[in-house]
Structure 1
Amino acid sequence: MVGLHYEYLGAKILAGFDTYKYSCKDTSPLSQYVMHPFWNQVVKLCPLWVAPNLLTLVGFMFCVGHFLLLTFYDYDYRSGTAPPDISNIPDVPGGIPVPGYIWVLVALFLFLSHTLDGIDGKQARRTGSSTPLGELFDHGLDSWATIFITGSVYSIFGRSEDHFSISPFRMYCVLWNVYFCFLTSHWEKYNTGVLYLPWGYDFSMVSGFVMYLITSVVGQSYWKILLPGNQYPGPFMEIMVYVGNMGITLPVALYNIYKSYKEGTGKNRSFLEANRPLVSTIVAFIVSLIWVLRSPNDILELDPRAMFYVSGTIFANICCKLIISQMSNTQCELFSAILLPYSVVCLIGGFANLSKQNELILLYGFTAFVTLWHIHYGVCVVREMSQHFGIRAFSLVKPSTPPSAPHVLYDTVRLISDDEESDVDIVMGN
């Protein structure tokens, strides 16, 4: 099979989805007492003929849109480095601030993205159209959204080697920290069978929305204020990301995995099998550092946005494979196929001593290549699963052709108790 009919999954993985049940714990107070009550009211405004996956896709496009707005107005992340009112600082190049109305649009797009992402599952339950494809589509797009969300916040503070903000390299490390945090949740589910939703997601989305609105009113120079403890907001947020991810998310995930082994409630895989999903992302991180640290032209300083985007797309492709394997209860691949071209490009960039122009051509060419690769992968996987379950991905009207497997709907009832699973799965056959 070629083109958009390429089969990435195959019969074994598709068969694994037939017995899948969604199990999730969401104990975040912000999620339980603020976001879900709000979403429960918003979803009532959505017509019953709207497919949940369509809400997911539109929400993701708003997420991409807020990133593209800042890409157009602040491509090199210099708008927040030194706006005109503080451009007299020595050795700091003056930037052109992003207009206030753009920050309002950025905030609005992020709000709509978060809201649609929050109501898609509720819409599925309203319409009785919950399937494993919905969860895969949602979480798969969320993995790609990590770069669009985190990469946009950097524009508020701007790139800087001084104490007002952080350098592109430090931001690159922050991004990889966020990638590993997202991966940790699905690695945790791969071993426990339960998705423990991190508290940081809703908090970061709400915080980003508020920060964009504040910036639209007071300007980017506001984020150069000195906080208690002689710390500036940009470096302070960098510290908080590491504290939240490495100091809270990872230890909690390790404890949950340990508890599942001790109580026999998880998958009880061997040590090597349990850690198999981590290999591809670690390899991707290592080869990324080779290019960044050995680049003859300091490629990360030349075009941080493109480097950020490439790393996020590579991660999303790898993470989608993990999500599929944990949902289908199949073995996660050790090395993702996308690592081969990525490793070659990183080694060329790090060791070939390219000119500045040729290194940028290498970066832009691979950016286009990896984007097409990931989109092709996503389209083909959605097509395979839609055909398998006998559904249309973006419509509630069923196709005339019968499914290749018994059509089973997975309806999830949300609970908010801390001492029991927050999602109880009910299987309903047609």
Structure 2
Amino acid sequence: MICAICSFWSHTYDGIDGIQARRTLSVSPVVDHALDACKVLPFIITLFAPFNESESRISSLCSLALLIEMLTAHTIAFWEQYVTKILCLRWCFEGFYVSNLLHILAYFDGDNLVTAYLFSHWKVCDLIILIFNVCCTVNILFSLYHIYQFYDSQPVSEKQSMICWIQPIIPALELNVAAFLWALFSPGKVLSQDLPIFLFTIAVVNANVNSRLIVSYMSDSCAQMCNTAVMLYCSAALLSVSNILGAAGELLLLRSLAVFSFVAHVHYFFCIVREMCRKLQIEAFSLRYLKRSDMRKQG
């Protein structure tokens, strides 16, 4: 019940805050969408929490696949914005309300919910995973289709090279591949040892990728093909898989990487906001510049 209440209010206030910020023109896409992209992590962790104490418990690898699937849908939506200049977050917040309903049902009748069979071998958990996979897959396919459609409709004289269009998504692909390889070939089974930290690290690094992609869109510059956070993650994965550190050292490396990635991402956030405020000559937590703008128009 606590998960349902907190999830509902957090996403409701996030929507209200976004509407208010757009009304006052006091927010940018990098602050509103990218820097907090790791907020999708609690959705994955809590969505299947009611099942994790029963025989319907999903595997750690399945949790990783679900998170990467949602992060991929998120990243491709920003890639679509980078290419077409139009942002369409199709998955939006509907999934969070489904999660709230699931948590409420689990609170009142959790035992029957997690053990009920819908068909011969199909449980409620299996149905939720199927719906989740179908929704994310459809969203990804729609974004890819719109990107292809926009590229195909461009005049030959205005078309950029295919490499320039594809390179924004390369860091995300590198991160996904490295995460799966680390999880599959980890000598110390680090995914099972500390699943929340493993997922948290991926979400934070992916948020950094999205942030830099949106900054490239805002500045109308070519997106980076190499991301420092992703390269650091890939290096840590390679070091772990090589079985040099041992199980304890691998777990320590993962937790250190999680802390460093989070601190680096927050530092990047402050640097971007500070640079934007300096360039626009505004204050980060003040709307007084809007009053000055109105006075200039009236004058």
Shared fold (TM-score, shorter chain, > 0.5) = yes
**Structure 2 residue corresponding to 1:345, chosen from 214, 228, 236:** 236
Instruction: Report deviation, 1:258.
Output: 2.7
Give me the whole-angstrom Cα distance separating, in 1, the residues matched to 2:33 and 2:22: 17
Query: 1:251 aligned to 2:141?
Result: yes
Query: Does the aligned pair in 2 maintain the 1:186–1:322 contact within 8 Å?
Result: yes
Could you list the runs of 4 or more consecutive aligned residues of structure 1 that deviate by over 4 angstroms after TM superposition? none
Pairing partner for 1:330 from 207, 221, 228: 221
Aligned to 1:192: 84
CA contact (8 A) 2:35 2:269 kept: no
Q: How does 1:407-418 map to 2 (within 5 A)?
A: none
Question: CA–CA distance in 1 between the matches of 2:40 and 2:144?
Answer: 22
- Matches of 2:214 and 2:154, distance apart in 1: 22
CA-to-aligned-CA distance 1:43-63 (integer Å, 9 cap, x gap): xxxxxxxxxxxxxxxxxxxxx
Q: Which amino acid aligns with 1:138?
A: D
The CA distance in 2 between the partners of 1:337 and 1:307, in whole Å, is: 18
Task: Give the counterpart letter for 2:96 in structure 1.
Answer: M
Distance of 1:261 and 1:286 partners within structure 2 = 26
Task: Find out whether 1:151 has 2:45 as its counterpart.
Answer: yes
Q: TM-score, normalised by structure 1?
A: 0.63
Distance change in 2, residues 1:302/1:121 (3 Å): closer
> What residue is the counterpart of 1:80 in the other structure?
none
Change beyond 3 A, Cα 1:395–1:343? same
Equivalent in the alignment of 2:2: 105
Given the alignment, which residue of 203, 206, 210 partners 1:315? 206
Percent sequence identity is 25
**Please, what is the CA RMSD of the aligned residues?**
2.6
CA contact (8 A) 1:295 1:353 kept: no
Cα offset, 1:139, TM superposition:
0.2
> Quick one: distance in 1 between partners of 2:171 and 2:111?
38
Closer, same or farther: CA 111–271 of 1 in aligned 2, 3 Å: same
Check 1:366–1:390 CA distance in 2 against 1; reply closer, same or farther (3 A cut). Answer: same
Q: Shift of residue 148 of structure 1?
A: 2.4
- The answer to whether the Cα contact below 8 Å between 2:171 and 2:230 also exists between their aligned partners in 1 is yes
1:293-334, Cα deviation, whole Å (9 max, x unpaired): 221111111111111111111111111111111222211000
Query: Residue by residue, what CA displacement relative to the aligned partner does 1:255-281 show, whole Å, maximum 9, x if unpaired?
Result: 22233234439x843211111111001
* Structure 2 residues without counterparts, runs of 5 or longer: none
Unaligned runs of 5+ in 1: 1-103, 409-427
When residues 258 and 216 of structure 1 are mapped into structure 2, their CA distance, relative to the original with a 3 A threshold, is same
Q: Could you tell me how far 1:179 is from its partner in structure 2? A: 0.8
Number of aligned residue pairs: give it: 294
- Counterparts of 1:167 and 1:232, CA distance in 2: 15
Alignment of 1:221-300 (within 5 A): 222-228=113-119, 230-246=121-137, 248-264=138-154, 268-300=159-191
User: Which structure carries more helix by proportion?
Assistant: 2
Match of 1:174 among 36, 42, 66: 66
Shift of 1:202: 2.2
Q: Which secondary structure state, in structure 2, belongs to the residue aligned with residue 269 of structure 1?
A: coil
Q: Distance in 1 between matches of 2:298 and 2:197?
A: 46
Question: In the TM superposition, what is the alpha-carbon distance from 1:117 to its structure 2 partner?
Answer: 1.7
Go from structure 1 to structure 2 and tell me whether the alpha carbon gap of 1:125 and 1:377 turns closer, same or farther (over 3 Å shift): closer
Q: Is the 8 A contact 1:292 1:350 kept in 2?
A: no
Pairwise CA distance, 1:190: 1.1
1:118 to 15, 18, 25: 15
What displacement does 1:282 show? 0.8
